Structure 1
C-alpha cells in the first residue's frame, strides 16, 4: 500500500505541475507548512517576465463563506507585509510559504472549516496582477486527509445505459462516464456532501465507469462531478444544466429565477441532474416547416436583439418578425459557452442551453411561440471545436503544451486545418460522431428545433491542409457531413442541414445534391452595390443556376453576423451622394433587398438589416455588444425600408413557385450590367416577374425586355393601370430613377388596383379612435404593442380595441384567433 501511495503522489504531483499553481506537498491539508509555487507565465500572464517583488493577496473560502467568491481572512489590497511576499525561483516561478500551518497563517478559528485557499498575485506597486485564464481568481482545495483510492470493482453496466445521465422509473439515476486509461473514478456531489469516499467509487466496465445514485428527492436538483484518478474533477459532458463558479453570479434573477447556488465544497464547473422534472407543455404540436428551398431565415444574436438580451425578450419580437414575413429564425449559438457575454462560438456543454439568456423552458417557449406564428427555429451549432471547459478536453489535457493530450480520443493535438480555435474535434473518430449525433437528437426532440446551421464545416476533416488547400475536394469530409445529415433526417425528415462550408464547387454540389443547404456569402458584392461602386458588384453568383445546380440549395445573404454591415460601408465609404445622405443610402438598401429577395432560392437576413442598421461590426470590438436600435422603426425612411422587405417577402409567399425549381430565370446582374440597368426575369406557371434596377446615381432609360406578352402590373406603384405588353412592346423603355427599381408582375387573376402588401389574412384597420378587426374566425385576443415590444393594451374576445387616448406613433397590432393563428399588422396613429 505504501508503494502504491508513493506512486499515486508522484502521478498527482506530475499532473499538478502542469498547472499554473502547484503545491508542496501535492495534497494540501491543514497539517504543517505548505509551499505555493506560482508560474507567472501561465494563466493571464499578467506577471510574466516581471522581476519583482511579487506579493500574494490571499484568503480562504470556509464553511461560513456565502459564496465561492466570499474570501475570508484576507488582508486589505496592497498589504506588503513580509508574510505575503513570494520568493523568486527563477524562470517566472515564485514561491509563497504558508507557515507554521494554514490555519495559523490565515488566523482561522478552530470551529470554522477551511475549504479552499484563494489567491491573486500582484506586483508590489499593485499595478500588475497574476490571475487564472480569463482573469479569474486562483483556488487551491484543501483535503481533509490524504485519500487513497481502493482498487475499483469491475461490474457490467445495466442494460440500456448510455454515457451521461440515465433517469430510471424508480427515481434513481445511473451515471456513466467513458474514460479509457483512467485508473479511478469517484462520484462527488450533493448526494454525498462532496466527500471523497471509496463508497462512492464508480464501477469499471471496460473503458466505461458507472454508478447508480438512489435516494434522490423527486424534483430536486443535485450537483455532481467526477473525480478522476484523485487528481482533478470534471462535469458530465451530457448534462443539460451546469453551474459555473465564475459566471453564474452575474446572471440576474430576472433572467434565471431560483438558480441553484454553486456548491462551495468543490471547484470548477459542476453538472446538475434532477429526477421527476416537470415537462414543458407544448402549445403548438403540429408545426409544418417551410420547404428548404423557400426559406427566408432571420439570423439573430439573442444578446444584441433586445435591450434585455434574453430569450424571453426575443419572444416579444416574434410578431415583428411575422409582420416582416420571414419564415425561419436562426439563433446564433445558445449552447453553454464560456462566460456570459459572447457570440457563442466558444462552446463548452452541448446539451445545456446557456443560462445567460434564460431557463430551458424559456428556450422551449421561444420555439413554441415561433412555431405558433409559422416560423421555424434553426440552431447555429459549433462542432468544429470546444473550449477547455468541455469535459472531453479536461479528461486528457497536456498542461505543459496547453493542448489536448496525445491520448485524447475526441480531440486533435493540433488541428489538421488552418482555421482552428480552442481544441479541434476529430470527426473521423466514431466516438466524436456518436456524441454529436446525441446532441442533434436532443435538440430535435427535447427542444423541437427544425434544423441546424453548422459552423465551420470545412474543419470536419483529418486531411492536413493549408489556407491554399483547405477548400479542395475532400471525400472524407463529405462522408462525415453526409453521416450527420442522414442522422438528422432519420429523426426528422423535414429538418434543415445548413453548412458554413466555403469549399470548391464540386464538393458543395455533392453536399447540395444530398439535401443540404450551403451558405453563400455575397457580402462584398452587395457592399459594393450599396456604396455605389461597379467593380466587384456582380450579384450573379446569388443563384444556384450560376453554378449549374439542379436545386436551389444556396442560402444567399448580403450580411451575416460575420460580415461588415452594408449600410456602415455606404455611410463611411460610399460615393458622395450616398455617403452624404441617409435617405439615399436607405433607397439603395431597398434596391439591394429587391435583388436579393427576387433571386430564387433560400435567403438569409442578418438582424436589423431590414432597418438599415449602420453600426460597424467593429463597434465595441468585433464580438462586443452592439447598440440595440428598435427606435429605427419609427424613422420614416427606415420604416419604408422595412415595408419594402415585408412586401418583397409577401410576394415570395404569394408566388412561391417563382422562387424555386423549376421556374425559369434570367439574371442580368453582373458588373457589366451596371450602366444598362440590372434585370431579373422569372417565369412560372403561377406568374411571371420582371425586376429592373438602377444602381447608378443618374436616371436611366432602359429597354424593359418583358419576358412575355400580356397585362403587367408595377406592384410597387400606386398607379392602378396595367401595362399592356404586346409582341412589339417587350423592349419598351422604362425610366429608372437613381437608386430605384421597378418590379412588374404578370398573373391572370391580378387586379389593376392590387399591390402586394404585407398584411395579415384578416382585416385590421383604424377607425374613429379604435382598432377594428374583421376575421372569418372567432377572435380570441387583440393586442397593441409599441415597437419597443411593450404591451400597451389588449381586449379579449372582441373585434374592437379602443385607442382614442393613445399618442401619435407607429404601433404593432396582433390578433390571435380561437384556433391559435396569429396575425400582425402595423398601424400609424396620427392625432
Structure 2
C-alpha cells in the first residue's frame, strides 16, 4: 500500500510539473545535492518567448525569516550577470539553470535559517525582457524537507451533525470535513501544526468523506489551513468564509481591509481561514420588509466603479443618494471571492467568502444593514454556472493533460453541454452540486441577510446538449433545477427574490415566472434606437409581461445593464444630428426613455449612473476594465434634471404601486408604427389613471391625447399647467408635444392642482466632494457659510455652488437667500 501511494504521488507530481512553466530535476526538490531548474520561456507571461539569449536568473530564497512572499533573501542586485546566474539553452524556448553543489551553498544561506522556497524572475542579459508567471508574477519552487510517506488512513465515522466544510463547536474546537471520493490520503496542513507534513495530522476516513477535529485553538484568533491530497497537491476548503491569496492579497490596501492576516510563507496556493468564537456583527436594523417582487426598481451596481475608492464602505456613503432617487433595491454585481482584485466578478472561486478587495465581512454586513435602514433591499448577483480552476472542486479532479476537469469529477463537466460557458462548467443535475449551492444560498440569506439573488447565465443550468440555435428551447430538466433552487430560497426566506438571466423561449420563462421567479428582459437595443432618434427597432411594447401573455408582471425590464452598451454613448456617437450634437437634447431623450421604461408595468432595473446620463462606452478601457467615476455629473444642471425626472417617476410608482404592478387596464401604443403619431401608455387601477404621451421625433407633434376616462387630470411634470377637465367629448383633445418631450398625466381622487409628486424641497442644499451645491425653485441671491458661533466664513453671490474644500472638519450652517428674499438654512457636517 505504501509503495503504491508513493508511486501514485510521483506520477501525479510528474504530470503536474509537466504542465508547469518551471520544472526541476530531481522532481522533488530538497536541500541535498545539485538541482537543475528548467524554464519554459513560452509559458507564463511569455516575456522571453523566442528570445535567443543570453538569459539570466534573478533568484533568491524565501526563508523562515522572510516577512512576506516578496521578501526574497540572498538575491543578487538586479542585472547581476555573473556566470552562476546564466542559463544554458536547451532549444525550443527551454533554458536550464544549475544550482550546485546544493541549494544552501549556492545561495549562501546560513545553517540556522530554514529555506522554504526558491524565487525566480528570468531576464535578458540587457535587463529589457522578463520571463515571469502568468499575470507577471514571480515564480516559486517549494522545497521538500524529506520524502514523506503517508500512513494507511484510519477509518472512523464522522461525529453526528458534521457536514462538509467547517463546523465550529461550542468547546472551541473545529471539525474539518472533506468529500473526496477516490482519494487515498488527506492530511491537514496549517498554522496549528506549523505546516508540517505528519501522519499525526492525517484525516480519518469515513467512506468518501475525510474528517479531523482541530483543538487547542485560541479564541478569536485566525488560523490558515489547507488539505494535502494524496501527498501531491494542496487545496483550500470550498466552504471557507475567508481565504488568503498569495498573489492578490498583497495589493489590498490596509485602508480597505485593516489587519489582513499575512499569507503563510510555509506553503503555496490559496489557503482557507478558520476563526473560533469570532465577535458577531451587531445588526442595527431588524424586521426589514422587502418590496413586493412585482414592484421592484433595482439599481445594478458594480462596487469597483461606483465610487472613486471602489469599496463597499464608500458605497455606504452613497445610500442616501439612492434613497433620494427612489429605488427600492440594490443589486451588487458578484462580490463572492473572484480571481484577482480588479474584475466584474464573473470568475468566481470561493462562494462563501466575500471578496476582500471591496472590504471586510463586517463592511458588507454594514452595507446591507444601512440599506435596510433606508428601506432598500440588497440582491446578490451569483455565478453558479461555472467556476475557475482555483475552486477546490475543480482542483480535486483535474486533468492536467487536457486542462479540463477530469472525467471522474462529480461536480464539473469535462466540456459544457451548452455553448455559453467559460471556465469550468457545473453539472447541476448532480445532487452534490445543488446541495453545495443551496448551502451557499442559505449562508448569504442568513449570515449576511441579503434579500435575494440574481442568477447569472441560468440557460446553462442543464446537461442537455445544445448549440446556439437550440440552447433556448424548452428544457424540462433545467426548469426542475431552477425550481429546486427557488424552493430552497423560499424555504429560508419566503419574501426573498429569485431573478434569472435566462433568455429562453417564452413557454419556459412563463413557467418559471408562474413559479414566482423574475426574468431579466433586455430592451437595450430598442431604447438605444429611441435614444439615438431612430424609429427602426425602437418598439417598446415587449417591455411588458402582458405582451407575452403572462398572468403576473414578473418580467424585469431594463434599458441598460452591466453587459449592454450605454444608451447615451450611442446617442452621443451615432444619434441623429440634433441628438448627436447637443448634450441637452440627448438628456431630454434620456428622460423620455426613462418615462416610458418606468411607466411600463412590472419590475424594472437601472444600471448605475443611467439616471445621470452616463455616456462612456462599455468598451472604455476594455469591456470589463475600470470606468471613469463621474459623481460630478450630479452638479450639472441638465444631468441633475434627469436625476429629478427619475426621482419623480419613482415617487409616482411608490405612491401608486397598483398602477405598475397589477393594472386593471393597460394600453401601450409604443411600437415603431406609433413613432410619428406620438407614443402612449395608459394604465388604470382602483380609481387612479395614468396617461403618458411621448414625442420621439425631432419636430413638434400635436396629437389626440386619448384620455382613458373623464375627470380632472394633472400634468405632474408641469409647474404651471392647472387641471385639465376632461369630459366625454374631450378625451381626444389635442396635446402639443415638443421634440424629445413627454407629458405625464395622472387622475386620482383628491389630487391637488398644486401637488407635485416627487417634488424636491423649495431649496435643496447638499455637500458633495468639498462643494456645497444648492438647487432652488427660484434664482439664488446669496449662499453663506457660517460657523456655529455665528461667524461668516465664506459667501458667494448669484451662484449655485460654494467651494468649502479647504474648510476644516466641523459642523457649519449654510444659509441661502433667494431673489424674492426667502431664506433657507441647513446644517452640514464636513469630515476630512
Q: When the two structures are superposed, what TM-score results if normalisation uses the length of structure 1?
A: 0.92
Q: Figure out how many residues of one structure are paired with residues of the other and give that number.
A: 831
More divergent stretch after superposition (375-384 vs 754-763): 754-763
My pick for the range that moved more, 81-90 or 806-815, is: 806-815
Contact 1:185 1:209 in 2 (8 A): yes
Q: Is the CA contact (8 Å cut-off) linking 1:373 and 1:821 kept in structure 2?
A: no
- Relative to structure 1, the CA distance from residue 568 to residue 336 in structure 2 (aligned partners, 3 Å threshold; closer, same or farther) is same
> How far 1:26 sits from its partner (Å)?
2.1
Moved more, 799-808 or 737-746: 799-808
For residue 621 of structure 1, what is the aligned residue in structure 2? Answer: 622
Higher alpha-carbon deviation: 625-634 or 82-91: 82-91
Bigger shift: residues 23-32 or 349-358: 23-32
CA 777–719 in structure 1, closer or farther in 2 if over 3 Å, else same: closer
Asked if the contact 2:331/2:378 (under 8 Å) is kept, the reply is yes
Q: Secondary structure at the match of 1:105?
A: helix
CA contact (8 A) 1:720 1:753 kept: no
Deviates more, 1:696-705 or 1:777-786: 777-786
Q: Is the 8 A contact 1:58 1:120 kept in 2?
A: yes
With 715-724 and 309-318 compared, the bigger mean Cα shift is at: 715-724
CA distance in 2, matches of 1:603, 1:787: 44
Is contact 1:552–1:600 with CA below 8 Å preserved after alignment?
yes
Distance in 2 (alpha carbons) for counterparts of 1:357 and 1:218: 26
Cα 1:608–1:3 shift into 2, 3 Å? closer
Q: Give the CA deviation at 1:24.
A: 2.0
Native 8 Å contact 1:167 1:174 kept in 2: yes
**1:605 aligns to what SS in structure 2?**
strand
The within-5 A match list for 1:170-319 is 170-319=171-320
Pair 1:771–1:225, CA change in 2 (3 A): closer
Using the size of structure 2 for normalisation, the TM-score is 0.91
Contact conserved, 2:773 with 2:800, CA < 8 A, in 1? yes
CA distance in 1, matches of 2:657, 2:504: 29
Q: Map Cα deviations across residues 742-769 of structure 1 (whole Å, 9 max, x no partner).
A: 0001101111111212559999999999
CA spacing shift, 1:577–1:790, aligned 2, 3 Å? farther
| Equivalent residues of 1:32, 1:99 under 8 A apart | yes
> Structure 1 160/724 Cα, relative in aligned 2: closer, same or farther at 3 Å?
same
C-alpha distance in 2 between matches for 1:467 and 1:718: 52
Is 36-45 or 700-709 further displaced after alignment? 36-45
Any idea what the Cα deviations from partners look like across 1:87-109, whole Å, max 9, x if unmatched? Answer: 34444443322111111111222
Cα shift readout 1:311-348 (whole Å, capped 9, x = no counterpart): 01101110110000000000000001111111111111
Q: 1:85 to 1:198 in 2, by over 3 A?
A: same
SS in 1 for 2:372: helix
- 1:803 and 1:193, CA in 2 relative to 1: closer, same or farther beyond 3 A? closer
Question: Distance between the aligned counterparts of 2:244 and 2:180, measured in 1?
Answer: 22
Q: Measured at CA, do residues 15 and 797 of structure 1 come closer, stay the same or move farther in structure 2, by a change above 3 Å? A: farther
Closer, same or farther: CA 510–799 of 1 in aligned 2, 3 Å: same
Residue 762 and residue 177 in structure 1: after superposition, are their counterparts in 2 closer, same or farther (change >3 A)?
farther
Residues in 2 aligned to 1:94 and 1:767: alpha-carbon distance in whole angstroms: 58
CA 1:635–1:830 in structure 2 vs 1: closer, same or farther (change >3 Å)?
Answer: farther
Contact kept in structure 1, 2:663 and 2:684, CA below 8 Å: no
For residues 377-410 of structure 1, give each alpha carbon's deviation from its aligned partner in whole angstroms, at most 9, with x where no partner exists.
Answer: 0000011111111111111112222211111111
Q: Secondary structure at the match of 1:284?
A: coil
The DSSP-based 3-state class of the residue aligned with 2:617 is coil
> Per the alignment, do residues 473 and 654 of structure 1 end up closer, same or farther by CA in structure 2, a change over 3 Å counting?
same
How far 1:461 sits from its partner (Å)? Answer: 1.0
- Measure how far apart 1:806 and its partner are: 10
Deviates most, 688-697 or 129-138: 129-138
Gap change, CA 1:384 and 1:792, over 3 Å in 2: farther
Gap change, CA 1:310 and 1:830, over 3 Å in 2: closer
What are the residue-to-residue correspondences of 1:456-605 with 2, within 5 Å? 456-605=457-606
What residue number does 2:406 align with? Answer: 405
User: Following the alignment from structure 1 to structure 2, what is the Cα–Cα distance between the partners of residues 150 and 781?
Assistant: 83
Q: Is the alpha carbon distance of 1:713 and 1:2 closer, same or farther for their aligned partners in structure 2, counting shifts above 3 Å?
A: closer
CA gap of 1:239–1:6, structure 2 versus 1, over 3 A, is closer
CA–CA separation in structure 2 for the residues paired with 1:159 and 1:783: 70
- Partner deviation per Cα, 1:422-464 (whole Å, 9 max, x = no partner): 1111111111111100000000000000000011111111111
Q: Is the 8 A contact 2:186 2:228 kept in 1?
A: yes
Three-state SS of the structure 2 residue aligned to 1:413 is coil
Q: CA deviation at 1:121?
A: 2.7
Contact between 1:687 and 1:746, CA under 8 Å: does it hold in 2? yes
**SS at 1:411's partner residue?**
coil
SS in structure 1 at match of 2:166: strand
Deviation at residue 784 of structure 1 after TM alignment? 12
CA offsets 1:236-269 (integer angstroms, 9 cap, x no match):
1100001111111111111111111111111111
Q: Deviations over 1:774-818 (max 9, x none)?
A: 999999999999999999999999999999999999999999999
Cα-to-partner distance string for 1:463-483 (whole Å, 9 max, x where unaligned): 111111111111111111111
In terms of mean alpha carbon deviation, does 601-610 or 94-103 score higher? 94-103
Asked if 1 retains the 8 angstrom alpha-carbon contact of 2:63 and 2:115, the reply is yes
Q: Label 1:793 to 1:573 Cα distance change in 2 as closer, same or farther (>3 A).
A: same
SS for the counterpart of 1:773 is strand
Q: Is the 8 A contact 1:22 1:38 kept in 2?
A: yes
Q: Which sections of structure 1, spanning at least 5 residues, go unmatched?
A: none
Question: Residues of 1 paired with 2:328 and 2:813: CA distance?
Answer: 19
Contact 2:166–2:177 under 8 Å retained in 1: yes
Gap change, CA 1:818 and 1:504, over 3 Å in 2: farther
Distance in 2 between residues matched to 1:772 and 1:18, nearest whole Å? 59
Q: Aligned partners of 1:97, 1:363: CA distance in 2, in Å? A: 50
The change in CA–CA distance for 1:716 and 1:482 in structure 2 (over 3 A counts) is same
Distance of 1:148 and 1:830 partners within structure 2: 61
Structure 1 pair 174/516, CA: closer, same or farther in 2 (3 Å)? same
Q: Deviations over 1:704-751 (max 9, x none)?
A: 011111111111111252111111111111000000000001101111
d(CA) in 2 for partners of 1:822 and 1:31?
85
CA drift of 1:44 comes to 3.1
User: Following TM superposition, by how much is the alpha carbon of 1:233 offset from its aligned partner in structure 2, in angstroms?
Assistant: 0.8
Which stretch of structure 1 is more off in the superposition, 231-240 or 76-85? Answer: 76-85
Contact 1:398/1:405, CA 8 A, preserved across alignment = yes
573 and 303 in structure 1: CA distance in 2 versus 1, 3 angstrom threshold: same
Provide the C-alpha distance between the structure 2 equivalents of 1:773 and 1:186, rounded to a whole number of angstroms.
Answer: 64
Residue pair 1:323, 1:824 contacting (<8 A) in 2 also:
no
Deviation larger for 800-809 or 790-799: 790-799
Q: Give the Cα–Cα distance (whole angstroms) in 2 for the partners of residues 820 and 511 of structure 1.
A: 59
Asked whether the 8 Å contact 2:522–2:559 carries over to 1, the reply is yes
Q: d(CA) in 2 for partners of 1:781 and 1:172?
A: 66
TM-aligned CA deviation for residue 662 of structure 1: 4.2
Return closer, same or farther for 1:807/1:401 CA change in 2, 3 Å cut-off. Answer: same
3-state secondary structure, aligned to 1:782: strand
- Supply the RMSD in Å over aligned alpha carbons: 6.1
- Contact 2:545 2:552 (8 Å CA) reproduced: yes
Distance 1:772 1:470, change over 3 A: closer
SS in 1 for 2:444: helix
Distance in 2 (CA, whole Å) between partners of 1:722 and 1:285 is 43
Alpha-carbon spacing, 1:275–1:428, altered in 2? closer, same or farther (3 Å): same
Q: Distance in 1 between matches of 2:688 and 2:803?
A: 41
Give the conservation status (yes or no) of the 8 Å contact 1:444–1:491. yes
Q: Alpha-carbon deviations, 1:521-562, whole Å to 9, x = none?
A: 111110110111111111111000110111111100000111
Gap runs ≥5 in structure 2: none
Q: How big is each residue's C-alpha offset from its partner over 1:111-160, in whole Å with a ceiling of 9 and x where there is no partner?
A: 22111011223344444433223222221111111111111111110011
CA–CA distance in structure 1, aligned partners of residues 826 and 417 of structure 2? 51
CA separation of 1:792/1:215 partners in 2, compared to 1, >3 Å: closer, same or farther? farther
My pick for the range that moved more, 247-256 or 71-80, is 71-80
Q: Kindly indicate whether the alpha-carbon contact (under 8 Å) linking 1:620 and 1:626 is maintained by their aligned counterparts in 2.
A: yes
Do the aligned partners of 2:557 and 2:603 also contact (CA within 8 Å) in 1? yes
Given that residues 61 and 117 in structure 1 are in contact (C-alpha distance below 8 angstroms), is that contact kept between their aligned partners in structure 2?
yes
Q: Could you tell which deviates more after superposition, 401-410 or 515-524?
A: 401-410
Seen in structure 2, the aligned counterparts of structure 1 residues 768 and 385 have a Cα distance that, compared at 3 Å, is closer
Counterpart-to-counterpart distance in 1, 2:791 and 2:402: 52
1:557-596 deviation line (CA, Å, top 9, x unaligned):
0001111111111111111111111110100000000000
Residue pair 1:372, 1:822 contacting (<8 A) in 2 also = no
